Amino acid sequence: MAHFARINGLTHKVIKVTVSDQEWVDNQTNSDFWVQTSYNTRGGVHYQADGVTPSDDQSKALRKNFAGIGYTYDVNKDAFIPPKAHDSFVLNETKCIYEPPLTYPTDGLVYSWNETDYQADNTTGWEIDPTSS
């Protein structure tokens, strides 16, 4: 059994993720197509079951990210790309994830992205998350 993403044949958007076997996938008849996805892969790295420790065998890393509904399957990159969280975020072509244009602060506090502040001056965007106290 493995995870498979159902991809809309026109938009290449993921519309379903299911656990199945290859035979079941091969017997599906519609204009959509199915692509295997790895539950433990994100940002192009395969992780052990704890979700933190990278696996010793990185050949298990499959299609950059575990597929989710609303993700796009990029045929040329053979990768699942999550939706863009904010207009200012930029696609990291190696990891196939969108990242903020400013580095996350490393002072130990918890921050959230403020798109309005960033759009106003392109130098600020991280603000201390009020729910973290």
> Model's pTM, two decimal places?
0.88
Nearest to 37 by CA among 73, 11, 10: 73
Phi, psi of 86 (to 5 degrees): -140, 150
Structure tokens at 75: 């045929």
pLDDT for 99-114, tens place per residue? 999 999 999 999 999 9
pLDDT for 4-46, tens place per residue? 999 999 999 999 999 999 999 889 888 899 999 999 999 999 9
Per-chain mean pLDDT for the chain:
94
